[in-house]
Chain A
């Protein structure tokens, strides 16, 4: 093996090497457990909470948390634990899809900017700067203004709003990987441009993207809830966390549990996604 070939091989190994074993912290364990709960609630809500999230029982409205209704009941006597559990699927799907849209668009734009030469780089960068001029949520509101409120629009809106950030990071990552020694080596060895991109550059760019995506799901869930909270996403009486928070806010002074539990789940989901993302990041960095 020549020196150059060793360099090129190292590039491939950089992603293949198994991470060094680190001890799992308490926070990570808790985050993992909550993530498992969320996944269970998302895929089989009836296992977690067997009731109907829309079933009303007016005469047992406004019950504080108790042994029968763990999270209490809302203004129509609906069980809040059931609603929060059944809302998980919706929130996670919106979060994941929106992050997928954002990352997908980010990869396309970032790769164009990073790989297709100065003119494209310049154009894409200016375009991203224009998008950056709007705060993300405002950009999402703009999309909703054009396409009308609803769950699908909200998902696309959050996806579009997060895309510029991802595109920036991917571009920077591409440029740094592009000038790495193992890429130089591959170039010198006469590998084609396309082959270098697919075999050497993208794999070394995507690992950090996985971390970004995990972090991003938390943010997307918060934003999607925010849109529903503003009445621009899921409509009541849908069991969606943002919509529930919005409906519960009316009774915040007399029945705190209506708003507290959906809010708690939004926060915990964001925190879980963030700590899992950070844990992944640390492991990749130490690799």
Chain B
């Protein structure tokens, strides 16, 4: 079972979003096409995410890379719609009783598209590549933090040795950022590998014209679909042209005109519009891991005072903003985690809009005076919230939502300074601790994302320079709970610990949850068989096909 395409009518949207997992319980094929798959054809995909600077998701490791690399790279394991781990490049695996050693047995007869065979040494080379500081991996590097060494038990069996038990290892390994690449490809050096990484996937990178498109062609000798795919053997499509169209209106116009077949990052108004007709179908696949939230930097004034953090959260009218801007396509979240995660704790009691309570909190925190512009001041300092906004990582509706929060927080006396930035300047602002509030999406399979976001170790930057604990939560109790949760294998106990962590973080007012990470794809009704991976909700076109011309 897996995520599927919805051409549902508006009444159904709320219900579908309400139960993220509900998505995964319907059949894979979309309503429009049906029939027998046709071989051949070129599918054109238009991405609104930033164009990756490197097509190898080991380097850095962000969502734009995951989107495209899902087409040409594959992981050791995958996850099905119910959250169970299923075979992919590894056909089976075992964990030692003490949880410190894992052995993966690889599928037979799999070769990379450059002819290199998939064997234990190849997996070892990938782990080494991810852990090499020169690679500059953040996502993959963090996920493998506990892996101390790897060993080839035989040609097809690889053993991972861990420093401590890791209940999230399998979930981590499902992700595109830990995909297995050809060791021959990796040996070419970073520049060449970034331009055209070599994997085992159903497509391979043919060319990449920067600032325009990546051309992918079918891997004719493909043998390794994940256990939940609809067919075996090579993909149906002959080619995929992966275009970058950052402007959301142009992207939707291109889809309507038939210039492209699939778009991502669809704006709420275009989703509503598309659902009124029959020519476009809507695939809603919220990303796993963290919810979309605003993180409050607790390491420096004014948000080092929990009362000020709570005041900010109480002063923000998020509900009305979500209603006006998302037009029913997004549901308010009160959790640290995506609703896709079964362990997500929702705390609506903590995040209600209450301007009076906010006023009282600021008064008690000493921010009693107001200046001429109506902003609160204390000791001559204005209550300013520096809020850098990455224009590459947020759709316009989300930026409008920040503007609305700015407007409602102003009534309480917060001067929220929104600064739109490109991705590079935004990373720099974060690295220099030059922010009080920030919204950074973080997708990861499973609740272990909490460790990355809230463990005090996450304040220290990964080799790429990126750090994920933007709220700068530095709480020994949270650290202890996270360490314990990562080590226990008992599912119920693990869930209980993660519940405690979430309650502690939510009650500490470190974050203002907004909604699930929105991930809406719009597809021309010509496209059949496309689905989102139940791992990190990236689209896969392995089963997809287009009608004969």
A-to-B contact residues, CB < 8 Å:
54-56, 58-59, 61-62, 75-77, 231, 235-237, 247, 249-255
Question: Which residues of A have CB within 8 Å of B403?
Answer: 56, 76, 236-237
Contact of A54 among B270, B320, B407 (CB under 8 A): B407
B279 to chain A, nearest CB (A): 14
Cβ of A75 and Cβ of B325 under 8 Å apart? yes
- Which residues of B have CB within 8 Å of A235? 418-420
Contact across chains for A236 and B407 when beta carbons are under 8 A apart: no
Q: How far apart sit A56 and B406, CA to CA, in the bound complex (Å)? A: 10
Question: Nearest Cβ distance between residue A43 and chain B, in whole angstroms?
Answer: 21
Pick from B273, B397, B404 the residue with the most CB of A within 10 Å: B404
Tell me the smallest distance from the CB of A155 to a CB of chain B, in Å. 19
In the bound complex, do residue A59 and residue B324 qualify as a contact, i.e. CB atoms below 8 Å apart? yes
Q: List 7 A-B contacts (CB under 8 A).
A: A56-B403, A59-B320, A76-B321, A253-B249, A253-B253, A254-B270, A254-B273
Tally inter-chain residue pairs, CB-CB below 8 A.
Answer: 69
Chain A contact residues: helix, strand, loop or mixed: loop
B337, chain A: closest CB distance, angstroms = 26
Residue B40 lies at the interface, judged by CB distance under 8 Å to chain A: no
Query: In whole angstroms, how far apart are the Cα atoms of A56 and B272 in the complex?
Result: 23
Q: Which residues, 393 to 421 on B, are CB-close (under 8 Å) to A?
A: 396-397, 399-400, 403-404, 406-408, 418-420
A62, A76, A231, most chain B CB atoms within 10 A: A76
Knowing A235-B420, A250-B248, A250-B396, the reply to whether A58 touches B320 (Cβ < 8 A) is yes
- B252 interfacial contact with A, CB 8 Å: yes
Known: A75-B324, A76-B404, A247-B400. A58 touches B267 (CB 8 A): no
In chain B, positions 313-328 with a C-beta closer than 8 Å to chain A are 317, 320-321, 323-325
B191 adjacent to chain A (CB < 8 Å): no
In the complex, the chain A residue whose C-beta lies closest to that of B417 is A235
User: Which interface class (under 10, 10 to 19, 20 to 34, 35 or more) fits B?
Assistant: 20 to 34
Once bound together, how far apart are the Cα atoms of A192 and B269, in whole Å? 71
Q: A58-B324, A75-B324, A247-B400 known; A253 and B273 CB under 8 Å? A: yes
Judged by a CB distance under 8 angstroms, whether B391 is at the interface is: yes
Considering the chains assembled together, what is the distance between the CA atoms of A236 and B324 in angstroms?
A: 18
Q: Mark B48-68, 1 if CB is under 8 A from A, else 0.
A: 000000000000000000000
* CB proximity of B150 to chain A, nearest CB, Å: 46
B432–chain A nearest beta-carbon distance, Å:
16
Cβ-neighbour of B324 out of A54, A76, A231 (below 8 A):
A76
Residue of B272, B323, B404 touching A254 (CB-CB under 8 A): B272
What residues of A have a CB within 8 angstroms of the CB of B400 in the complex? Answer: 75-76, 247
Rounded to whole Å, the gap between the CB of A77 and the closest CB of chain B is: 6
Instruction: Let me know if A58 and B317 touch, CB within 8 A.
Output: yes
Smallest Cβ-Cβ distance to B407: which chain A residue? A56
A-B interface, 7 closest residue pairs, ranked by CB to CB distance from nearest? A58-B324, A58-B320, A61-B324, A254-B269, A250-B396, A237-B403, A56-B407
Scan B207-251; emit 1 where CB is below 8 A from any A CB, else 0.
Answer: 000000000000000000000000000000000000000011100
Contact across chains for B325 and A253 when beta carbons are under 8 A apart: no
Contacting pair A253 B252 (CB below 8 A) = yes
Which B residues are in CB contact (< 8 Å) with A77?
Answer: 324
Inter-chain CA distance A77–B406, complex, in Å, is 14
Residues of A within 8 A of B323 (CB): 58-59
Q: Decide: A249 near B249, CB < 8 A? Known: A76-B400, A231-B391.
A: yes
Assess whether B406 is in contact with A237, with CB atoms less than 8 Å apart: yes
Instruction: Enumerate chain B residues within 8 angstroms of A252, measured Cβ to Cβ.
Output: 249
The answer to whether B272 and A236 touch across the interface, beta carbons within 8 angstroms, is no
Q: A129 to chain B: closest CB distance in Å?
A: 31
Chain B residues lying within 8 Å of A61, measured Cβ to Cβ, are: 324-325
Interface residues of B in 401-453 (CB under 8 A from A): 403-404, 406-408, 418-420
Q: Mark B295-325, 1 if CB is under 8 A from A, else 0.
A: 0000000000000000000000100110111
Expressed in whole angstroms, the minimum distance between the Cβ of A8 and any Cβ of chain B is 58
Complex Cα distance, B248 from A274, in Å, reads 34
Chain A residues with CB below 8 A from B252, complex form? 253
Q: Would you give the shortest CB distance from A251 to chain B, in whole angstroms?
A: 6
6 new A-B contacts, CB < 8 A, other than A58-B323, A235-B418, A237-B418, are: A58-B321, A75-B397, A75-B400, A76-B407, A236-B399, A250-B248
In the assembled complex, the Cα of A100 lies from the Cα of B253 at a distance in Å of: 40
Given contacts A76-B324, A247-B396, contact A253 B270 (CB under 8 A): yes
Closest Cβ of chain A to B270, distance in Å, is: 7
Q: Mark B65-84, 1 if CB is under 8 A from A, else 0.
A: 00000000000000000000
CB distance from B50 to the nearest CB of A (A): 15
**Residues of A with C-beta under 8 A to B406:** 237
Min Cβ gap A208→B in Å is 41
Question: B320 to chain A: which residues have CB within 8 Å?
Answer: 58-59
Considering the chains assembled together, what is the distance between the CA atoms of A236 and B417 in angstroms? 10
Does B273 contact A231, Cβ atoms closer than 8 Å?
no
